Structure 1
Amino acid sequence: MIPQPRTLFAALTGHPLRFLGSAWPWRALAHLVCGGVPGVAVWVAVGGLVAARGRLGTVAVVVCAVAVVGFVAALAAPLERWRLRLVEPDATPVRRALGYGALSVLGAGWIDLGVVCVSLGVPGALLTTPFQPSGPLWAVVGGPVAGALLLPVAAYPVAGWAGARGAVARAVLAPDSAELVEVRRSRARLVDAYEAERRRIERDLHDGAQQRLVALTVRLGLAGLDLPPGSRAADEVAQAHLLAKEALAELRELIRGVHPQVLTERGLGAAVRDVAGRSPVPVDVSLELPLRPPAAVETAAYFAVCEALTNVARHSAAERCRVDGRLAGGVLWVEVSDDGRGGADPVGGSGLTGTADRIAAVDGRMLLSSPVGGPTRLRMEIPCGS
């Protein structure tokens, strides 16, 4: 099955018969004709004002002309957004089109009409030769044939100019192109894949290596009970038992760092309170989360808080820290503040750049206030949808 072109330019590069048999030539024609309508209306109104200059006065005519241009440009703004979708269906205009509408009213719309008249005028004149009262016989017979042959050709300059105008309009009104949207979507897919892999590693460590270490620790403990106290073998088994317990503790910390089980089971609030309870700096936690955010948002916020608390413990010389957060209006915001010496700098290698990248990966943003002498406030805002 041949894929359908998504833009006018893509249709132009396809097979001529397929292009001429599609709706694209008509969409291009409608795009250009609609662009000229506001311009014609403005110049007709301005011409009427100029004709009435003797009664109104020059100043009044100028003021009224400016008002007419502004009014029609305001009406042309939604028309420009609608016209853009005729040639760029995937475009989503995000900027106001008032200035672009004024440009179209004052000049660009007339160029659109000029291209239409020139492109269709020649084949149109040839098609009407039989209705001309005085004309040679060859023109009466051959004119319609030539006009019919040139009419499909005229679709190409019309479509080409419409495509160029659409590209300019898209650059002005919809700078977030489909390619950039797709980049953001791929980044979101990459984040989801990364988090899924992180969870898989955590599950494998928890259900595999950790369980084997637990079994090894139990067996070493039982073996030590069967050996004579004070013997060389008992001492070696005791040392091995101690090393196995230390390895088990380190593995549990590693699992918690990869993806804490409490975050998966009980959510962001419990996970933040858990990491706050293990911080060397006393941390007050106040989180208002009536609903659980999406998993990717929870993970990004949790590890950002972990990084922030690590920075507080290592660099701030703070006596106390506080974590506040709330989920409202489809936005999760979390703020970590401390009473330390301040002066935090993202360029200084304190992990703030990585935290900002982690938040940006879920379309969030990070705000930092850290004057020298303190206090330091690190705020994260992450959209969570409706």
Structure 2
Amino acid sequence: MDHADAGAAYAAPDQTRLRELADEQAALRRVATLVAGGAQPAEVFTAVADELGRLIGAETTSVSRVEHQSGADGELDAYITVVGSYGQVSDRIPVGVRFELLPGMVQETALRTGRPARVYGERLANGSHGSWVASLGMRAAVATPIMVEGRGWGVTVAATSQEDLPAGAEARMAAFTELAATAIANAWAEQELRQLAGTQAALRRLATLVAGGAPPEEVFAAATREALQHFGDGTARMIRFELDGSATLVANEGRTAPDVRVGDRWEGYPPNGLTTTVRRTGRAARVDDYGAIVGGESTVREGIRSAVAVPIHVDGRLWGMIAVGPENGPMPADTEQRMTQFTDLVATAVANAQNRTELLSSRARIVAAADEARRRIERDLHDGAQQGLVALALRLRSAAEAPQESEDLRIEIADVAAGLMTVIDELRETCRGIHPAILTSAGLRPALRALARRSAVPVEMDVRINGRLPEQLEVGAYYVVSEMLTNAAKHARASVVEVNAEASGGTLRVCVRDDGAGGADPLRGSGLVGLKDRIDALGGTFTLHSPPGGGTSVCCELPVPADAAQPDARPGE
């Protein structure tokens, strides 16, 4: 071999590498042009997979995002979600498909070591993603971690049906992926920015609805539509948890079954489904395959294979949840986090809409109650004291016409005096119906003890109140206990009632519990609604727990001004 042949032999590898570098730079320019042009993230990720496949001669490539989710045992489980694909895998493993990242999978090895990993033969089938790739006839694959800001953002995989990929595939993939990571990170950041802007716009629309006085049903429907638009493309539902342990479907958007109607009780859901899990834990939950859980068949028949739900907390209480189900495949692992941020703000709109309606209803009930009280007092005075006074006036007129110093006159006047005392007693009883006399004269503690003595159900009472409280607080607490004792006797069939009242730390706390039938529901028009209105008007909180067969418990807390304590009217009471 002469010198010219030798020089050409040495130059050949350099020329090959230069062509490879030129191809890589051209591929990167095409990807960068997409990013600069504002292409959608999915388009950028697919372009990366496309360019990578062409560079190393792979028949199928994919780009996947790694995410972590808290498992049932509290540990973080890793998942990968396909965000871009090229070649045969595009049909079998489309964008959006999600896999659990398990030990032994080539992606797990690359992410754990931070270096490219090669696998071929039977090992290729490790894990659900590997088995799908193997089912396409692929016989070898290389995975390369995508590092963004020093951490594993995701992983690329290239596979071939040949015995193996070319030598040096790891190095070429690593070099290209390292340079493409910037474009990938920028595209992902752009997507997150768009999602944030979309969420903020959705919340502004909801706030506008609430400010305009829209009824809760309209706000519920709007919030559910926004959730469907931002987190899924199949079905979205808002479900409210009722005090009696049931649930109600308050909004439904997207695909649905004919028998699913807004306003109906939400029943028939799987025992391990989203509704049960969220209500039990108060945290977000997901079902990746309803076909794999007991009772999930009806959900699958409805066309919902998977779903994610997040709780809605209103005023510190678990109010309900929003659930979203996609058209195809499970949802990304970060869905719970994104939806939680959304629903935390939606909860404010839900609370404002509901509180506004409750305030209007409360005002209407207060007006109606005041009118009814006035009518009752009017009837009592007309049918009782007024008629008695008219009768006495007629008798006095007759007495005035009788002969002076008549014995009959003295008897008549004595009878009139007795009648007057009777009318006075009747008026006193009427006034007591408006405001208990013992409460006015002696305070809350003696008044509660008097209620206990008159109760048809045995009462165990523990009252720790020193001194007098503001009149409106004493009246509010008195009527809570009075109403609950009446309910325990008339409706609950209770055998005992516990009453606990304490004023300390600037708060008056009153709890009434019975062992009766339970199932009390304020929505059915009971006196519980009036009690809640009264306590709310005083700036307090009113909570009810009444599961069927589990008795009824009502607790209220009322703020007590720091300078409100007064000496006992009757210290010995």
Q: TM-score range by the shorter chain?
A: 0.3 to 0.5
Give the number of the structure with larger relative contact order, counting CA–CA contacts within 8 Å between residues 6 or more apart. Answer: 1
TM-score relative to the length of structure 2:
0.32
TM-score relative to the length of structure 1:
0.43
Give the structure with the larger helix fraction: 1
- Greater CA radius of gyration, 1 or 2? 2
